Each structure stands twice: as C-alpha cells, then as structure tokens.
Structure 1
Amino acid sequence: MIAEFGHFALILALGVALVQAAIPLVGAQRGWSNWMAVAAPSAVVQCGLLLAAFLALTWSFVTSDFSVQLVAMNSHSAKPMLYKITGVWGNHEGSMLLWVLILALFGATVGLWGGALPPGLKARALSVQAMIGVAFLLFILFTSNPFLRLDTPPLDGNDLNPLLQDPGLAFHPPFLYLGYVGLSMAFSFAVAALIEGRVDAAWARWVRPWTLAAWMFLTIGIALGSWWAYYELGWGGWWFWDPVENASFMPWLIAAALLHSAIVVEKRDTLKSWTILLAIMAFSFSLIGTFIVRSGVITSVHAFANDPERGTFILAILAVAIGGSLMLFALRAGDLRSGAMFSTISRESGLVMNNLLLTVSTLVVFIGTIWPLLLEIATGNKVSVGPPFFNLAFTPFMVALAVILPPAAMLPWKRGQIGRVMQPLWGVLALSVALGALIWALQTGRSMLAPVGIALALWVVLGALTDIAQRVKLGRAGWRESLRRAGNLPRADWGKMVAHAGFGLTMFGISAITAWEVEDIRIVDTGQSFTVAGYELRFDGVEAVQGPNYSAEIGSFTLLDGKREPVLRPEKRFYPVQQMPTTEAAINYGITRDVYVVLGDSQGAGRWAVRTYIKPFANWIWAGSIVMALGGILSLTDRRYRIGHAAGRKLRGAAVPAE
C-alpha cells in the first residue's frame, strides 16, 4: 500500500500544480487578490504531497520491498542502510522525483516567506514555477513512474551501481539538484517580470538571494562530485571535462554572471535585459544538463538513463521552456531599456566584462560538449573532444577574469579612474609577479603553468583582502575606527571578499597539482620499499576481506616519513550481485601534498602492480570551493535581502477580490 500511496500523492500533486499554474496567473492579469492568494497555499500543498511520495519511495528502499520494480533494480538486502537510502536517488526515476520535490520546495519557500513580495509578481512567479512542475510530473507519471509493481517479486535485488555506493555520492546529487533546480526560481521571477513588463531594483533584490542560494548549492555539489572522482575512481584526477560534469559546470558559470549582473540592476537600474536573459539562460542550461544525463545521447559514469522516449519528452519540455521564454523576452525587451549612463572605467563596465567572460567561457564549454553529438547526428562520424580542447579554449577566459577581478571589484559606480583604483593594488601586483618569477626560477625547465597560475591566484586573494582593507581604512584610520567600519560593512561585501578569495585558492590548487603532479607505476614485492618524488613507501602485503555486500583485496603501504609512519590501505573490491569491480584509492592527505596509492593487479608470488601519485596542494581545490560556498552563505545573511513590508502593503492594496 505504501507504493500505491506514493503514486496517488504524485497524481494529486499534478492536480494541485495545474491549479497553481492557472488560477494565480489569471488573478494577476485581472488584479483579483483572492485568485492570486491561491498561489502560496497551492505551492505548500504541492510540496507536501511530493514529500509524501518521496518518503513512500524511501520507505520502500529502506524496507527492501522488492515488489517495487525500482527497488528490485537498484537495491539489495545486504546493502548498508546509508546506500539503501541514497539508492532512492541513485537511479533515473528516483532522482527525477527528488528533482520535482526540490522544485516544489523552492516554490513553497517563496509561498511561505515571500509575504513582502508584490502580490502580482509572487503569483506570476509561483504560477511559472508550477508550470515547470506540471511538465516534469507528467514526465514522471507517463515515462518514469517510480512506483511500478512487479507481478513476481525477486528474492533479492540487483543492487546499486557500486560506483555510487560511496559517502561522497550520497550527498553529491541532492546538493547538485538544489543548485540545478534552484535556478528555476530565478527563471520564474524573470518570466514573471516579463509578463508584468517591469524590472527594477526591487526585483533584482528579490531575485539575487534565490540565485545566490542556487549558485552556492551548485558549488558544493560540483566540489563533492570532483572530490568523489578524485578518490573513488582511482584515476587520480579531479576533473575530466566529462559531458555530465560540464552539464553542471555551465549553469554554475551563468549563475555567477547572473549574480553580478543583478547587482548592476539593483544599484544602477541598468542591464535589465541582460539580467533577464541570464536568468533564462541559467535555468536553460540546467534543463540542457537534464537532457544530456537522461536522454541516452552520451555514455558516462554519471548518466542515469538511455531511453530515447524519455529524451524526446525532455527535449519537448526544453523546447517549450526555452523557446517560450526567449520569445517572451524578444517581445518585451524593448520595455526594459534604461537611460542610466556609465563610463568605460566604472564598476558597471567591470561587471559587464565579468559577465562577458563568464558567458563566453560557458559557450566554449557548451560547444565542446555538444559538438561531437551534433557531428555524429549530421555525419555519423564519432569524434572526441577531450581535456586538451577545453584546457586550451577555456583557460584564457579564466586568466582574463582573474586579471580584471581585483580592480573591477574596487572601481566606483558610474565613473572611475584606473590609476586611483590601482594605487593600493600596485604592491599586491608586485608581490604576485615576484612570487611567480620566484617559482619560475626554482622550477627551471618546467612549464609556465605554475608560475602564472599561482601569481594570478595570489593576485585574486590579496586583491580581495585589499578591497576590504580600503573599505575599512585599514592603516589610514585608528584601529577602533577600522573595527567600527568593518562591523558596519554589509555582509554581502564580506561574502564577496570571501567568495573571491575562495576562487583564488581554487586557482592555486589547480595550477599546483596540474604543473607539479608526479606519477609512478611499478611492480613491487611484498616487503619492498620504493621512493616516489622523495617519499618512501614500504609494501607490507595484501589481505582478503569480506565486506557487507562485496569482497575486497586490501593492500598495506607504510609511508616512511620518520614520524608517524601512517599506513595507506588501497582496495580492489568486487560486488558479486552486479559482477563489477571497483578501485578504492588510499590517500594520505596533507596541506601541501597528497600521497595517493592505487593497488593494481596481482603479478603472482606476492608481487603487485602499484600506481603512486604525489599531488601537490590538491586539497586547496576543494578548500577554495568550500570558501566560495561560505562566501555565498555570508552574503545570504545580509539584512538588505529582507524585503520591507511597507512596499508589499502598498502594492497589495491595488488588487481587489474577484466578483
């Protein structure tokens, strides 16, 4: 009965979504307050019903109800409880249910805590949000029903893909979906503003928190996925330009551009059309990512489905959502013009340049991702676009972004002087160049990647700190006055500094690990010691171990550093139900390096193939991502995002009940 209850809740949620999509929109057009008021409770009820459906599916997984087809295909009675729960979204149908639940959750949040929003904008935005929900609920019910029963249940299930049975992958999809789907709220506000024909500073202030939250969740989700690939797959890499990795990276780049563009709308009442277009593009790339993952057009460790029927359905949703919103944008773009003027040297111009670099870099990633697919459709020829293309085509835009970031962030609004802005930055620039030159001198004969990348990283980090130092008059006023100014600075300014510094830290980690990584592949005897890049390890042997739903061969390597001598235990696992082996790397983490060991195949007589990496500053990549996310959290706490109720009351008075 639990599965039938979940199925029924899905059908009811579709009915509520249809009501939410139609009645508030008509009420907003007619100015009927009681029809508009339907939006908020409908959003809450829809979220409640979808939560009930999700909990019903979770219960089926937890109790190993193999009469439910999805459970039989993606679970096993011997699987640890954590992976029984995460198996709910470790498949196509369950992940789509999580997708629409998060969509409804964002709508319910606006319904519950959006009381200060103008009633017309709120009703239209929740109506658009519900339209997206209707489309995906129809998709789930007609092509991806997670509650189908089996006439003859098996004694046990097929188990979950072993690569997904990992703590990093347990939390990676929910964070990624919170980011992916969270951008739907910015999209809904953008379409609502186009329908209403008004975009102003207040609209930008309403849309920024939702975009910021989505960007923050995307940052965490992408970082978790990258970290999982680093330690789980045994390849020693952290980013592979996989099409599905790109599918999450593109919305992240556009969301970052949208955040900066919305600042200009809020502060200077200009770039309205550009900001609306970015809001549409951000969610459009999320939909494109959904299509890539679930259409079967690519083969990837990340891909969920390969059913062309599902892909066609999603493609239709994508065409209506993107095509309809862009058509509405074309019709309304003329109404969004602004007479605000600004100089070439100004913060507005700096933010425009920032947006252009982020947008063009997104298009580069998009072309590299989609071109092989288009070429295969057109000619039947298969081509591979890999890291060399992306590194060569994408990197220059990130370099340019890093170069302009510190001065652009410090420019005044409307008109500025580059010499005046650079005055406190000359010392930072000199120090950054000097560090780059020192690194180049110390690593004679190696590539320029590390010197240039690390110099740019220091430039970005110290530039962000200099910006705050200038704002609080550090060194130019007494320490009490500087503390007072620091306390009075808006939290969004502190968040900006932290996020920019996190970007610099990630750049540092990427540059260091790419330029200085050392790889060693060899065959070693039990008891033998060997040295890699100055680090000595001793191979102590391999033991067989039985896990809860797998068997494993676990190697033992002692890192002979003369101090604690930690033991690294890489594994080769075999999952009998899925008949699939996996590799579990062993990593000795450090601030300045990781010692990374992968156990290969047995060569007989106690000899094993071993791959060892020394990865300098690898953890700085994810530390920078965490710092960026913390910057987003800090900005979200800014009191300026709490919309005043006076404006809401004033606008609410214009609506009347329907007769």
Structure 2
Amino acid sequence: MITELGHFALVLAFFVACVQAVVPLVGAHKRWPGWMAVAEPAANVQFLLTATAFAALTYAFVTSDFSVRLVTVNSHSAKPMLYKITGVWGNHEGSMLLWVLIVTLFGAFAAWFGGNLPPTLKARVLSVQAMIGVAFFAFILFTSNPFLRMGVPPFDGQDLNPLLQDPGLAFHPPFLYLGYVGLSMTFSFAVAALIEGRVDAAWGRWVRPYTLAAWIFLTVGIGLGSWWAYYELGWGGFWFWDPVENASFMPWLIAAALLHSAIVVEKRESLKSWTILLAIIAFGFSMVGAFITRSGVITSVHAFASDPERGVFLLLILAVFMVGALTLFAARGNVLQAKGVFSLVSRESVLVINNVLLAVAAFVVFVGTIWPLVSEMAFDRKLSVGAPFFNMAFTPFMVALGLILPVGAMLPWKRGNLARVIRPLRGAFLLAVAVGALAFAMQTGRSALGPVGLFLGAWLISGAAVDLWSRTGRGENRLSRLTRLPRADWGKAVAHAGLGVTMAGVAGVMAWEAEDIRVLQVGESLDLAGYTVTLDAVREIKGPNYEATQADMILSRGGSVISTLQPEKRFYPVAGMPTTEAALDNGFLRDVYVVIGDPQDNGGWAVRTYHKPLANWIWGGSILMAIGGALSLSDRRYRVAAGARKSTPAAGVPAE
C-alpha cells in the first residue's frame, strides 16, 4: 500500500510540475498576479509530493520489502541498516528519484526565500525550474519507475553492489546531486533573466548563493568520492580521470568560474552575457554527467546503468534545454549590455583571466572524456584517453590559476596599481620560493612537480593570509579588526588556502610516492621509505554479509612499533563479488597504505604497500574549500536575495 502511495504521489507531482511550468509563465507574460501566484504553492506541493514518494521507497528498502523489484535487485535482509538506506540511491531508478527530489527542493527554496525577487522574475524562475522537473518526472515514470512490483516476491534480495557498501559512498551521491541540481537553479535564473531581458547587480546577488551552494556540495561530493576510491578500491590512487569522475569535475570547474563572474555582475554590472552563458553551460555539464553514467556510451566503474534507451531520453532532455536556452541567449543577448568599465590592471581583469583558465580547463577535460566516443563513432577506432593526457593538458591551467589568485584577490575594482598590490605580497612570495627550494634540495633525481606544487600551495596559503591581514587597515587593534571582518572575506581566504593545500597534497603524492609489490610469507618483512612492514598473521573472518581474509601487518620504524594494520580481502556471497579493503596509517605528512592480495602457490601472500607523502592534504584542502564556501554563504549579504532591493513595478518590466 505504501509503495502504491509513493507511486501515486510521484504521478501527482508530475502533474503539479506541468501546471507550475505553464501557468506562472503565462501570468508573468500577461502581468496577471493571480496566475503568477500559483508558482509558490505549486513549488511547495511539488516538493512535498516528491518527498512522500522518496519516503515510500526508503520505507520499502528499510523494511526489506522484496515485492518491490528495486529492493530485490539492490538490497538484502542481512545488509547493515546504513546500506539498506543508501541502497535507495545506489541504483539508477532510486538515484533519479533523489535527483528529482533535489530539483523540487531547490524550487521550494526559491519559493521560501525569494521574497525580495520581483514577482515576474520569481514566477519565471519557478516556472523554468518546474520545466526541469517535468522532464525528469517523465523520465522516471516512463523509463525508470522505482515502484514496480515483482509478480512472485523472492525470499531475499540480490544485495547492493559491494563497492557501494561503504560510508564514503553512502554520502557521496547525495552531495554530488545537491551540486548538480543546485546548478539547475542558476540555469533557471539565467533563462528567466533572458526572458525578462534584465540582468543587473541585484540578479547577480540573487544567483550567487545558489551557485555557491552548488559549488560547496560538489566540492564535498568530489572529495568524498576521491577519498572512497583511495582507500576502498585498493589501487592506491586518489583520481583516475575516469569519465564519471570527470563528469563531476567539469561542473565544479564551470561553477567556480560562474561564481567569480557573478561577483563582477554584482559589483560592477559587467560580464553579463558571459555569466548567463556560464550558468547555461554549468547545468549542461551536469546533464552530461547524468547522460554518461546512465547511457552506457562510455564504460566506467561508476556507471549506474547501461541502457541506450534511457541514454537517448536523457540526451533528448539535454538537447531540448541546451538548444532552447542557447537560442534564447542568442536572441536576447543584445539586451545584456555591460555598464561597468575597467582597466587592464583591475580585479575585473583578473577575474576574466580566472574565468578563461577555468573554462578552458573544463573544455580540456571534456575533450579528453568524450574523445573515445567520438573516435569510435566517427573513425571506427577504439581508444582510451588516460592520465598522461589529462596531467599534461590540464596541469598548466591550474598552475597559472594558482599564480594569479593571490594578486587578483588583492587588486581593487575598476583600476589598480600592480606595484602597490605586489608590495605586501613579497614576503608571501619569498616564503613560497623558500618552501619550493627546500623541497627541490631534499629530493634527488625527481621531477620539478613536487617543488612546484609546494611553491604554489605555500603561495596560495600565505597570499590568503596577507589578503586577510591587509583588510585590517593600519595602526593598533588590527587583530581585533581581523575578527570582525565580514565572513565573506574569511570565506574567500579559507577557500583559496584550501586550494593551495590540495595542490600541495596532489603534487606531494604524485612526485614522491613510493610503492612496493611482492609476495610475503607470514613473519617476513619489507622496507619502504624508512618504514618496516611485517606480515604477522593471516586469518579468515566473517562479517554481517561477507567473508574476509584479514591480515595483521605491523608497521615499525627504527625498531619501534607504530601500529598494526589490518587490510582485508572480502567476498560477498550474495553478490558473488570480491572487494579490497586497504588499511592505512594516517599521518599529517604521510600515509602508509597496505593491501593484502591473493594467496600464492608457495604459501605466501601478495602484498602491496605504498608510502604517500601529503596524501591527507588532498582531502584536508577540499574540506577547507567547502568550509570557506560555507563561511561566505553564511554572510548575510550573500544569502538568497539578501540585501536586494524590494521589488518595484519597474523591476518586472523587460528592457526594451
């Protein structure tokens, strides 16, 4: 009964979305207040109905209702409760229901917190957001219904993919979807502004919180996914340039560019056309990610489904929204006239360079991701594009971005004096050079990647500190003034410093990682980067829904025991699938990473060990970036429509 209730609520939400997509849009065009007023209650009802459907599916998973086909295919009665719940979105149909739930949630946010929006703009934003909802409701109901029943319910289920039964992957998809779908709001604001023919400072202020929230969620989601791949898959890496990894990274890059360009719109009323275009492209890239993971056109270990029919449906949705929005952009772009002018040496100019670097970097990732598909379709050649291409083509743009960020953050708007800005940064630059030189002096026979990465990291961190300190003015009580700086200033500095920490961590791991792969007998040891790893024991254990081979591996240095690591090789009988559980000894400056492999004919065990300098800085930097974004978002000036002028009759009138 509850399952049928969920299905019925989903159908009702679809019809409410259809009403919301049409009625407020017509009302805004005709200036009919009653029709425009439909948008807000419709957005609320649409969210409540979708939440009801999602709660019904969650109930089916929690109670192991194997009469529901989706539960049978993706759950098991012996599975821990956490993974019963996360099984709701650990599959194609459930993940799409989560996606559309977040679409309606953001629409409801616009209804709840958009009180200062001009009535016509608010109606159009909610209408466009509802159109996105209509497309995905139709996709779910016609191709991916999560509420299908089994004719003969089985005694038990087939279990969730064992790779997804992990805390990191439990929360990784919701954060990514919050980021992906958050960009749908920026898309809705962009299309509504094009229809309205008005983009001004107030519009930039309204769109920034949604962009910032989406960027924060994407940062957390990508960080969780990278962390999971690092310790769960047992391969020792943190980023594989897999198509699905790239599908989340491209919107992150474009969202970062959009966030910075929206600042220029808000402060200087410049870059209007570019900002609108970025808002459209950002959502387009999030749709490309949905297409890649669900169409089967590109092989990936992260893919949810490989159904060409669903892929065609998603491709159609992508084409309709992108072609429609870009056509509207071409038709209405002439009304987006920039008002602010600025010199070559100004914060605006640096933000333009920032945007170009981020956009071109995203394009490079896109080309590398999609080229195997283009090659196969156009030239009938199968090829793969791997890490060497991405590292060589992508890295220079990030190096350039890291170099300009501290300078650009301190330049004034409109016109600046470069010498005056560089003067307080000299100490930060010398510190960064010293850190890079020290790293270069300590390494032998290595590439310049490590020293350059540490230089950039130190430059970004110290530059962010100088930027904060420079905002306290002169004289006494500078520390007191530092604590009273706006949270947006703190957020910017923390986020930039977090990027520096991540850059240093990536460079450290890639430049100085040490690896050892060999067969060890119980009692034997190996030496790695000054540490000794001893295989002390191997045993068989049984988990709640798996069987495992577990090893005790003693980590020591200079004869002193540091820790006992317990890597596992698990086997899930229901799914018939093995997984590797690495064991790590985490440290501030390094990780020691051990993996137990298969037994060998001579009685030994395959053992892989890694020494990974600065590995945790990668995710520590991601956390700092997310915290910085959250600090900025908490600044009352950047909340949704905060500080925006109250709507006036003129505010809703399109420009002639």
Aligned to 1:306: 306
Q: Distance in 2 between matches of 1:90 and 1:316?
A: 24
Shift, 1:112, TM fit: 1.2
Q: C-alpha offsets along residues 469-506 of structure 1, whole Å, 9 cap, x if unaligned?
A: 11113xx411x2x1443244221111100000000000
Q: For 1:322-471, list aligned pairs within 5 A.
A: 322-471=322-471
In structure 1, give the amino acid aligned to 2:57.
Answer: L
The DSSP-based 3-state class of the residue aligned with 2:646 is: helix
Most deviating of 638-647 and 47-56 = 638-647
CA contact (8 A) 1:592 1:617 kept: yes
Aligned to 1:59: 59
Q: Distance in 1 between matches of 2:548 and 2:109?
A: 46
Most deviating of 640-649 and 446-455 = 640-649
Identity across the alignment (%): 68
1:80 matched to 2:80: yes
CA contact (8 A) 1:119 1:652 kept: no
Aligned to 1:650: 648
Q: For 1:198-217, list aligned pairs within 5 A.
A: 198-217=198-217
Aligned to 1:640: 637
The DSSP-based 3-state class of the residue aligned with 1:566 is: strand
1:599 matched to 2:626: no
The DSSP-based 3-state class of the residue aligned with 1:613 is: strand
Give the alignment partner of residue 506 of structure 1, picking from 502, 518, 522. Answer: 502
Q: For 1:123-202, list aligned pairs within 5 A.
A: 123-202=123-202
Q: Distance in 1 between matches of 2:643 and 2:603?
A: 74
CA contact (8 A) 1:68 1:149 kept: yes
CA contact (8 A) 1:31 1:654 kept: no
CA contact (8 A) 1:119 1:651 kept: no
Give the alignment partner of residue 583 of structure 2, picking from 578, 582, 586. Answer: 586
Q: Distance in 2 between matches of 1:98 and 1:437?
A: 49
Shift, 1:6, TM fit: 0.9
| RMSD over equivalenced CA pairs, Å | 1.4
Inter-CA distance 646–201: structure 2 relative to 1 (3 Å threshold)? closer
In structure 1, give the amino acid aligned to 2:588.
Answer: I
Inter-CA distance 323–419: structure 2 relative to 1 (3 Å threshold)? same
Aligned to 1:218: 218
Aligned to 1:238: 238
Aligned to 1:609: 606
Shift, 1:605, TM fit: 5.6
TM-score by length of 1: 0.97
The DSSP-based 3-state class of the residue aligned with 1:539 is: strand
Q: C-alpha offsets along residues 132-177 of structure 1, whole Å, 9 cap, x if unaligned?
A: 0000000000000000111111111111111001010000000000
Shift, 1:444, TM fit: 2.6
CA contact (8 A) 2:187 2:283 kept: yes
The DSSP-based 3-state class of the residue aligned with 2:338 is: coil
CA contact (8 A) 1:505 1:623 kept: yes
Q: Distance in 2 between matches of 1:175 and 1:242?
A: 19
Q: Distance in 2 between matches of 1:650 and 1:170?
A: 46
Shift, 1:183, TM fit: 0.5
Aligned to 2:536: 540
Inter-CA distance 485–574: structure 2 relative to 1 (3 Å threshold)? same
Shift, 1:564, TM fit: 5.7
In structure 2, give the amino acid aligned to 1:587.
Answer: L
Q: Distance in 1 between matches of 2:497 and 2:329?
A: 35
CA contact (8 A) 1:526 1:607 kept: yes
Q: Distance in 2 between matches of 1:513 and 1:646?
A: 45
Inter-CA distance 646–92: structure 2 relative to 1 (3 Å threshold)? closer
The DSSP-based 3-state class of the residue aligned with 1:19 is: helix
Q: Distance in 2 between matches of 1:601 and 1:393?
A: 37
Aligned to 1:572: 569
Q: C-alpha offsets along residues 548-603 of structure 1, whole Å, 9 cap, x if unaligned?
A: 11110001111124556311000000111111111000001111111100001112
The DSSP-based 3-state class of the residue aligned with 1:596 is: strand
Q: Distance in 2 between matches of 1:403 and 1:366?
A: 24
The DSSP-based 3-state class of the residue aligned with 2:645 is: helix
In structure 2, give the amino acid aligned to 1:612.
Answer: T
Q: Distance in 1 between matches of 2:644 and 2:7?
A: 43
1:528 matched to 2:524: yes
Most deviating of 221-230 and 375-384 = 375-384
Q: C-alpha offsets along residues 232-263 of structure 1, whole Å, 9 cap, x if unaligned?
A: 00000000000000000000000000000000
CA contact (8 A) 1:67 1:154 kept: yes
Inter-CA distance 527–411: structure 2 relative to 1 (3 Å threshold)? same
CA contact (8 A) 2:554 2:561 kept: no
Aligned to 1:47: 47
Q: Distance in 2 between matches of 1:437 and 1:307?
A: 53
Shift, 1:433, TM fit: 1.4
Inter-CA distance 517–355: structure 2 relative to 1 (3 Å threshold)? same
The DSSP-based 3-state class of the residue aligned with 1:531 is: strand
The DSSP-based 3-state class of the residue aligned with 1:485 is: helix
In structure 1, give the amino acid aligned to 2:322.
Answer: I
Aligned to 2:251: 251
1:628 matched to 2:625: yes
Shift, 1:427, TM fit: 1.7
Q: C-alpha offsets along residues 192-242 of structure 1, whole Å, 9 cap, x if unaligned?
A: 000000000000000000000000000000000000000000000000000
Inter-CA distance 436–483: structure 2 relative to 1 (3 Å threshold)? closer
In structure 2, give the amino acid aligned to 1:93.
Answer: E
Q: Distance in 1 between matches of 2:3 and 2:224?
A: 31
Inter-CA distance 401–559: structure 2 relative to 1 (3 Å threshold)? same
Q: Distance in 1 between matches of 2:151 and 2:252?
A: 44
Q: Distance in 2 between matches of 1:344 and 1:97?
A: 48
Structure 2: tracts of 5 or more residues without a match:
none
The DSSP-based 3-state class of the residue aligned with 1:60 is: helix
Inter-CA distance 297–540: structure 2 relative to 1 (3 Å threshold)? same
Tell me the number of residue pairs that the alignment of Structure 1 and Structure 2 aligns.
Answer: 651
Q: Which runs of 4+ in 1 moved over 6 A?
A: 652-655
Q: For 1:469-508, list aligned pairs within 5 A.
A: 469-473=469-473, 476-478=474-476, 480=477, 482-508=478-504
Q: C-alpha offsets along residues 357-384 of structure 1, whole Å, 9 cap, x if unaligned?
A: 0000000000000011011111221011
Q: Distance in 2 between matches of 1:189 and 1:536?
A: 58
Q: Distance in 2 between matches of 1:239 and 1:526?
A: 32
The DSSP-based 3-state class of the residue aligned with 1:565 is: strand
In structure 1, give the amino acid aligned to 2:328.
Answer: L
Shift, 1:417, TM fit: 1.5
In structure 1, give the amino acid aligned to 2:441.
Answer: A
In structure 1, give the amino acid aligned to 2:160.
Answer: L
In structure 2, give the amino acid aligned to 1:361.
Answer: A
Q: Distance in 2 between matches of 1:652 and 1:168?
A: 49
CA contact (8 A) 1:540 1:557 kept: yes
In structure 1, give the amino acid aligned to 2:201.
Answer: A
In structure 1, give the amino acid aligned to 2:556.
Answer: L
Q: For 1:254-265, list aligned pairs within 5 A.
A: 254-265=254-265
Q: C-alpha offsets along residues 86-120 of structure 1, whole Å, 9 cap, x if unaligned?
A: 00000000000000000100001111121111111
CA contact (8 A) 2:268 2:339 kept: no
Q: Distance in 1 between matches of 2:651 and 2:165?
A: 54
Q: Distance in 2 between matches of 1:373 and 1:52?
A: 39
